[in-house]
Structure 1
Amino acid sequence: MLVNLDTAYEDTTAAELSLALDTPEQPALHLLDLGRLTRLGRPGTRLQLRLLGASHQVVLDGPDGGLIETVACLPGRRPELPATLADPATGYRFTARVRQLSPARLSECAARLRRDLAGDPYALVGVFPGGPDAITALRVGRPGGRDAAGTGRIGWRTWHAYPGSGEVVETETVVAAV
């Protein structure tokens, strides 16, 4: 789903982002509620993709617990976006990378994301009013496989394009289906 966001545009940089797993649900500019999933997780699993004014939030609830992942500019929190974070006890694995792109390559990347994800029922692409390349995109998928306990896994990828700094932040999360 492709949405044009109605908010004051403030370009930021990758260095201002934080990862938080302890932040409550934030006010969303737009959200995609995937409801109760059976294809992507265990029956009864609920998943929401949320576009924030300063990036994204994914809310995952299931029969055995939940998770709220926030990647954003968070007031009062020191900016820190780890390259990797893994918690074997919960089956959570997060990776992030920052790519520095020329203006032309960043435009190509943003155009590809808008084109490829616009009609995907498991994706949400928000275009900020600063221009068509100022986007945040999220896509849910199931990486497949099972962990040692036989639990299914669910995952999502995100892209945050910052035209002012020429950066694209890509994240990937995999977690045991809750």
Structure 2
Amino acid sequence: MSEQPGELSASVTRLPVAYADTSAAQLGFSLDAPLQEPLAREDGEIDGITVSVRLLGASHQVVVDDGAQRICETVACLPEVTSALPKSLQDSGYLFSSRIERADDDRLAALVEQLGVRVTEQMAAGNPSVMGVFPGDPHAVTAIVSDLSADSISWHTWHTYPQAGEVVITTSVIHRGAATA
């Protein structure tokens, strides 16, 4: 299901809001923040497990729900998200890692092009994925790419900050059969 205003392609959306976050240092992390109204969203299901990838401005939420347990990963600049973004976290079959990379304009341009292709390919393969492009800077994007397999559910995110020359990259994995919360 696609809920994307101003679509550029099936999975790349021109977001209708100004870029709000100013740097990677502002991002917080939560596994239990309340659901936020997404600007763009893609949902999918594998073996009764629902995966919803959601763009929240320059932030994201990924919700994985198997009917008994739900994880709601939120990386955002929100009042409800007060924990600092961890470099790594492991909890009951859930693994999270993040890193910040420096990127000049040329690297950002190449990354945005690669992300558009990757998001489109993953959507074509049936994996919920989405990318939002903010007005005013074609390199200001947030992207989520998921991969659903028999053994795990994983997703990668990219939050670009062209004005600071930064990219925040996160990787999350839930091993199937393990508790998700």
The answer to whether the superposition gives a TM-score over 0.5 is: yes
- Report how far residue 154 of structure 1 moved: 1.1
- Inter-partner Cα distance in structure 1 for 2:110 and 2:141: 12
- Inter-partner Cα distance in structure 1 for 2:80 and 2:73: 17
- Report how far residue 119 of structure 1 moved: 4.4
Aligned to 1:61: 65
Which residue type is aligned with residue 71 of structure 2?
L
* Pairing partner for 1:13 from 23, 28, 34: 23
Contact conserved, 1:17 with 1:72, CA < 8 A, in 2?
Answer: yes
* Pairing partner for 2:77 from 73, 80, 98: 73
* CA pair 76-154 structure 1, distance change in 2 beyond 3 A: closer
* Pairing partner for 1:116 from 98, 118, 127: 118
- Unpaired runs of 5+ in structure 1? 38-42, 145-151
Aligned residues with identical type, % of pairs: 40
Structure 1 SS opposite 2:79: coil
Which residue type is aligned with residue 115 of structure 1?
V
Say yes or no: does 1:26 pair with 2:32.
no
Which residue type is aligned with residue 102 of structure 2?
Q
- Unpaired runs of 5+ in structure 2? 1-10
Matched pairs, number:
163
* CA pair 101-28 structure 1, distance change in 2 beyond 3 A: same
Which residue type is aligned with residue 113 of structure 2?
A
TM-score (norm 2): 0.83
- Spell out structure 1 runs of 4+ moving beyond 3 A: 76-79
- Report how far residue 47 of structure 1 moved: 0.8
Aligned to 2:143: 137
Contact conserved, 2:118 with 2:145, CA < 8 A, in 1?
Answer: no
Q: CA RMSD in A?
A: 1.8
Aligned to 1:98: 100
- Inter-partner Cα distance in structure 1 for 2:82 and 2:33: 14
Aligned to 1:85: 89
- Report how far residue 120 of structure 1 moved: 2.9
